[in-house]
Amino acid sequence: MKHYHGTPLGGKRFDGPAFVRGRFVLIPWKRPEDLEMSLCNARGVIVDNSAFSFWTNGEQPNWNDYIKWCAGFARHPRFEWALIPDVIDGSEKDNADLISLWDKKAYHPIRIEGCPVWHLHESFARLEMYRDRYPRVAIGSSGQWPTPGVGDWWNRMNDVFDVLCDEDGFPRTKVHGLRMLNSKIVTTYPFASCDSTNAAQNGPRTADQINTDDLWGKMVNCERIEMFQSPAKWNRKAVEQGFLFELRA
């Protein structure tokens, strides 16, 4: 699976290329200062619509501006895909309307590759529609399951992968986990990719622990995160019984 490291990176600007080189990077719309550098140096770049920030701060975005922003670099060979606009705790109609907006406008100068977000509080019927219609679907924590890896979130995710996978346990579409690069999450579910801002945000703390500078602290975090890979198949029985090693074959 691909590990997408979220930005902004902070720190010294000339440290950025060393951090992203050979890695996959996520650029948020609200903090795009590392975009150009990442397109020049990273292996691949996706962009985030900053819905989590808007949800946290109560801001109202102009999604037309987001689509125009994506169009500005959509032809770059290292740009991979963008998260389609979404409202984290919105209704299914709210998010259906945003997908319609994307489908109408995200085509100039080329069609912009977009990934819809299915939220944990939404219906499985909608998840099935995404699964069958799109080559990739992102899973976002929301509603009574707002924090990845906490409490009943695990039971909900188990049900999610029952829907997403076929009778042999293989996902019917590629699955991206939003804020899900925690090693326990990664090694439990058959993701194609996940993202997290852990490496950049916690780099200074790691640097203090190992007595080095912030850049190397971030790099150490990246290495720790990238050690873990997702299983190829979903096996609910093995997960519920704690036999995760069976999933890594």
Give tens-digit pLDDT for 83-102: 999 999 899 999 999 999 99
Return the pLDDT at 246. 40
pTM: 0.93
Q: Token pair of 57, please?
A: 């701060």
Question: What mean pLDDT do residues 160-189 have?
Answer: 97
Residue 245 pLDDT more than 70? no
Give tens-digit pLDDT for 26-83: 999 999 999 999 999 999 999 999 999 998 898 899 999 999 999 999 999 999 999 9
From the list 17, 10, 20, 84, the residue with the least C-alpha distance to 47 is: 84
Q: At the topology level of CATH, where does 2-248 sit?
A: TIM Barrel (3.20.20)
Buried b (16+ CB within 10 A) or exposed e, 45-67: bbbbbbbbebbeeeeebebeebb
Contact 181, 198 (CB under 8 A): yes
Lowest average pLDDT, out of 138-152, 173-187, 209-223, goes to 209-223
Give the whole-angstrom CA distance, residue 58 versus residue 30.
Answer: 14
- Cα R_g (the chain), whole angstroms: 18
pLDDT above 90: percentage of residues in the chain:
79
Question: What mean pLDDT do residues 8-18 have?
Answer: 83
Question: Among positive and negative, which fits the CA dihedral 73, 75, 81, 87?
Answer: positive
Please state the domain extents for the chain: 2-248
- Measured in degrees and rounded to the nearest 5, phi and psi for residue 3 equal -105, 110
Question: What mean pLDDT do residues 187-213 have?
Answer: 90
Return the pLDDT at 109. 84
From the list 121, 135, 49, 61, the residue with the least C-alpha distance to 92 is: 121
Return the pLDDT at 201. 85
Return the pLDDT at 243. 63
Q: How many other β-carbons are positioned within 10 Å of the β-carbon of residue 243?
A: 11
Question: What mean pLDDT do residues 135-147 have?
Answer: 96
Q: Token pair of 40, please?
A: 């020049």
- Band of pLDDT at residue 244, cut at 50, 70 and 90: low
